[in-house]
Chain A
């Protein structure tokens, strides 16, 4: 926040008074908005017992928990396979062999350019795979390709002297990679990797669109039930905090790791960032 403080003077008494007025106006507007939403919620009967009763049923709770478990299962497998995919194709892109390099570049660029949903639909409809498999494969191809770019950027970001020194010591290229470059790159890239896992976690919800029984799908099953008077809003109010909470926890971990690594002497000289490399 150093730059932003250059945008305005330290407020004096009059500016402070003015800011207080702005703060009051903002708060009043937000409060009015919240009040209107609550009014609308009550007015359209979103808090009626019939809409909330399903959540007290053991069966419904089990349905939601199964959904959550399925979401986490898909996320776990996708994360694991994406990391493997990323390592393999990053190694391919950094290879000295031209054919390998080109092939890996082609694969990585293709899967990064395709909308994830198109790939998932293709796997699900054209290859007629199980929804869970389709979701995991789609997530792996997309996030794995992004991770491959992250790994490659990480290895390239290690100061050149490290590689040169390792070669000067007579190490072979595999040794240079595994003993010198990857350990440093991994530390610097860990936050970006976790950030990408947040994307993977968010994208597991695409499984809903191919009828994979994940968290949002469970929610939809409850929300479209006429017996419970179509509790769409209550379902969103239950599901959204869980999703957002899980993602925020991961994002927060990424930021913490980034802060830790930035202070660590072992990543000196390599830029630590939670952001993914930007390139068009």
Chain B
């Protein structure tokens, strides 16, 4: 117990790091994921191909490898950014592939008649997608996006091993201070549970408020 009370600020800093990573990478992943999903259903073949390649490659890349490439590889390119930014980029890009697939599945759940009606009103592809189809798709993709963001929060633990301040990384200084390793990890686990359960709670609320009745 004293591990937590003695090192509250350390744990707090770690937890805040994890929350920050999750929020920033989540926002990036949502933005990119929806954009790529739009690409994948667009009438322009070049965009469709780009979307497919993006999703296929990122979905089949181990996240550790992506971190390795971005955090250790990019600086060799002369791209020097704080590790935190690199971590957000890696996590966001990786998660965007999964968000894209969730959104695409959501687009497919919208009845065909909606798209057809929008077109018969003379709407362009962009209007059909953004004004008619996506708002309806959004309601059915709340649960899968929730679980993707939970996976993102859990994946953010990898960033700790690449010198980004986050929750899992706090075990190191605590271990050096000589605290019991088991309790150190118990409180780290509790921290992650707080983050993931909050996301689950928020998306549960969203689902109840906006979700499609099934």
Contact = CB atoms under 8 A, between A and B. Distances in A.
Q: Do A and B bind each other?
A: yes
B60 A251 contact: yes
A278 B158 CA distance: 24
Interface in A162-215: 198, 201-206, 208-209
Interface string B137-176: 0000001101100100111011011000000100100010
Nearest to B76: A232
Contacts of B73: 232-233, 236
A80 interface: no
Question: How many B residues touch the partner, as a band?
Answer: 35 or more
A52 to B, nearest CB: 14
A115 interface: yes
Interface bin, chain A: 35 or more
A266 interface: no
Interface in A145-171: none
Contacts of A206: 64, 158
Interface of B: 40-47, 50, 56-57, 59-65, 68-69, 72-73, 76-78, 107-108, 110, 112, 114-116, 119, 125, 128-129, 133, 143-144, 146-147, 150, 153-155, 157-158, 160-161, 168, 171, 175, 181-182, 185, 188-189, 192-193, 196, 200, 203-204, 207
A220 B45 CA distance: 38
Interface stretch (A61-69, A86-94, A100-108, A116-124): A116-124
A125 B44 contact: no
B61 A243 contact: yes
A126 interface: yes
B85 to A, nearest CB: 18
B62 A202 contact: yes
Given A7-B115, A26-B44, A121-B168, A243 B181 contact: no
Contacts of A15: 43
Contacts of A19: 43-45
A134 interface: no
Nearest to A128: B181
Q: Which 3 A-B pairs have the closest CB atoms?
A: A6-B115, A247-B60, A205-B62
Contact of B77 (A6, A26, A233): A233
A221 interface: no
B204 A280 contact: yes
30 contacts: A3-B107, A7-B115, A7-B125, A7-B128, A22-B47, A23-B45, A113-B192, A116-B154, A117-B154, A117-B158, A118-B157, A118-B189, A122-B185, A125-B181, A202-B60, A205-B63, A205-B65, A208-B68, A209-B158, A216-B64, A223-B72, A233-B77, A236-B69, A240-B61, A244-B57, A244-B60, A247-B60, A279-B143, A279-B147, A280-B203
Contact of B129 (A7, A216, A239, A247): A7
A122 B180 CA distance: 12
A86 B119 CA distance: 48
Contact of B147 (A30, A219, A278): A278
B64 A208 contact: yes
Interface in A262-280: 278-280
A239 B45 CA distance: 30
B180 to A, nearest CB: 9
Contacts of A2: 108, 112
Nearest to B162: A209
Interface centre among A2, A232, A248 (most CB of B within 10 A): A232
A27 B44 CA distance: 11
A280 B128 contact: no
